[in-house]
Amino acid sequence: MSTQDDPYAAPGQASDPAVPPPQPAAPSGPTAYAQPQPAYAQPQPTYAYPTPGYGGASGSGRGLAVAALVVAVLALVAAGVALVVVLLALFPGDPGPYGPYDEAITGTLAQAEAGQPYAGADLADEVARAFDTYYGPDSISGTTCPDLPSVSEGESVTCTATVLDVPSDLEVVLTDDRGHFEVLESPS
């Protein structure tokens, strides 16, 4: 057979079935398997979820939800504590019959004249009015006071009364010569 008989024979080679045709050499080097590149860069596809094994761990959304719940509970507890503190500051409540008072119980003598004596019965009425203002109505009963010798700053007398159902001695001290007074309470 001649090369003309074999349409697949390489040019210039005899077609001999016992001799295999030579194979082309395999390319070598960095371009061995290179594919032709387009003239422009094509955008790579993006995925909505991370590739398995990369990115966030599965279930991380649940961890964020638990963390948010813990933060919300702590915020509610803190708000509750703050509310209790504010309410206790605004409304201290009944300190009890033996407690020291942060605020002084104060009042003013009606129609007091500087340097003049003041009747004990009128003083008892003003002390009872001051207690009713501080503790509420009917917080004091049986108030008796001696006469004040003079309406002047620093003058004091001791009255007796039942305050919140506890017998008490009340020291009434005038804070000025216009009839303003302060009551210091101590249980009998």
Domain housing 160: 105-187
| pLDDT exceeds 60 at position 1 | no
139 or 54, higher pLDDT: 139
Residues 174 and 148 in one domain: yes
DSSP 23: P
Is there a single domain that holds both residue 87 and residue 110?
Answer: no
> Do the domain assignments include residue 179?
yes
What confidence tier does 67 reach under pLDDT thresholds 50, 70, 90?
very high
Higher model confidence: residue 39 or residue 117?
117
Q: In what order do the strands lie in the sheet with 166-174?
A: 105-108, 180-187, 166-174, 156-163, 140-144
User: Is 87 found in the same domain as 111?
Assistant: no
- Give the number of domains in the chain: 2
Phi, psi of 121 (to 5 degrees): -65, -40
CA distance 100 to 85: 20
User: What does pLDDT average to over the chain?
Assistant: 78
Structure tokens at 85: 């503190």
